[in-house]
Structure 1
Amino acid sequence: MEDIAGKTFDVVIVGSGPAGLTAALYAARADLSPLVFEGPEPGGQLMTTTDVENFPGYPEGVMGPKMMQDFREQATRFGADCRYGFVSDIDFSKRPYKITVDEKTEVYANAIIASTGASAKWLHLESEQKLRGKGVSACATCDGAFFRDQHVVVVGGGDTAMEEATFLTKFASKVTVVHRRDELRASKAMQTRAFNNDKIEFMWDSELIEVLGDQVVDGVKIKNSNTGEITELEDVTGVFVAIGHKPNTDLFKGVVEMDDVGYIKTKGQSTETDLPGLFACGDAMDAVYRQAVTAAGTGCKAALDAERYLGELESEEAIAESHWK
């Protein structure tokens, strides 16, 4: 593989989920020879997803890892250079921006596309991690349809949890919300909607302590924090952890404008940030939809925005050079 140390690239893409690899595809087709650093989780969150049935072009559904392999192969076919590597630091003090990978290799970029994604917050139970993608999920929109006429559990008490619980009632026969307090943190409107739904039940002052099952979820254990009583729900087949997401944007903190949670803010409908030459796409900037297809769409936008930016930069440099002659 070609040595890249010390070289300058038109576009460097940080992250390799649907957003990053779509950006790589579009940038490669624009002859920008993008360099992609795949990060600590190449392929992003879809690598832990089993069946993906809601992405256009896969009428029979597809395994998450297979879909990301297809994304990667398509991007590299047109010239994207996808490499394992974790971007540990970026020097934004001057352009081209200096990028340090794995704390040792340095490359330079005229434009950077941040597609570092977001990570669901988990309960950090061994049984939960073991059954992720096998009945344990953090996305009702992605996986809810797999639980038609079944009993599922939602963990959480905020807007996300109530939204997930309400959505799941379209499919599930029963949704049990497990919340560690005796009242919800969700907005009044979201609470009212959930309380008025006959399919939703609540377990207050409770926490999920174990997900049961070997190959798939076949029950849960819930502990009441006041009495210490443990209840086993043996008919539960799905667990949705809805305690929030954390955008993986620490690399850009203090450099670009973000919201209170850490999602990168972009200008209008574009992917431009308030730092020239830095573009953000996917779950790093989308706190609302968090779907593979919407992430891919913003990846496309980021590549087009970067191409336009580089064209304008080239024109400015050409004009400046002509003035010196």
Structure 2
Amino acid sequence: MKNQDLKIFIAGHKGMVGSAIWRHLEKKGYTNLIGRSSHELDLRNQGAVIRFFELEKPEIVIDAAAKVGGIWANQEHPYTFLMENLQIQNNLIEASHRFECKKFIFLGSSCIYPKMAPQPIKEEYLLTGALEPSNEGYAIAKIAGVKACEAIRKQFGKDFISLMPSNLYGSYDNFDLESSHVLPAMIRKFHDAKESHRPVQLWGTGSPLREFLHVEDLADAVYFTMNSDMEGHLYNVGSATEISIKNLAELIQWIVGHQGEILWDSSKPDGTPRKLMDSSRFFELGWKPKIDLETGITNTYKWFLSNRDQLKEVKFK
């Protein structure tokens, strides 16, 4: 679909993922991008979403809208993460189906897979075991989105595809310590500790292994998906490399320039022990990530330094 006049609705275009996709498509010459802020269009409101689709009639829909957060936020607000994500994605999927969109790309997360799934995690491991309890609500919502896209594809033959990225990071990330994911939270903690000459305290033991993907690589993967004919409905999108949380902390500490002590609070949860995804199905189509972790974190920290005075805290009700 390299028709650059295609009308493309990027849901969540103000967030880290959506804004990266918007910038990437603009660079590729797409001129008919549509975005609405949450104040302009409440994606939880089915009637509002239907009216928007009736008016705009987008040809491609990219669902980068979600209620997201780290371990603490997910544990403290399970209903919020379950219900709001179900509302957002159900409204977008149904409207895209009803108004005959040419392509729908649903973005999820590696947390949809069982906590103790064999490693690396293949797409077929979905629904073969129990989820990580700390983010179960979010994961169940995303699983429902994957299955809805699969069902539409099966029943109606429509081009609805789900991409499951590994842990994402990059410009426009959430650096709020109460609701952010591990990598941006570490950047914020090490920076604040560097300025105040304090040690850094981190949750858990540092032993879990994690895979990270720069958001600009995901944006390129979405562009690749837009312009590819794909037989499957679900694809993992990762970097195919992993790092322990301890080594990640030491890398971020070095990049930030913090020289104090790192204190690990083993009374706090580690989360899933290992999450490395098998992205070979997607790689075999011809796509590969380009940004290594050190380069990506360095660029993310530079963005944080340039924008930290304008960063908003994310609060949950």
Relative to the length of structure 2, the TM-score reads: 0.27
Q: TM-score, normalised by structure 1?
A: 0.27
Say which structure is richer in helix: 2
Larger radius of gyration: 1
Q: Is the strand fraction higher in 1 or 2?
A: 1
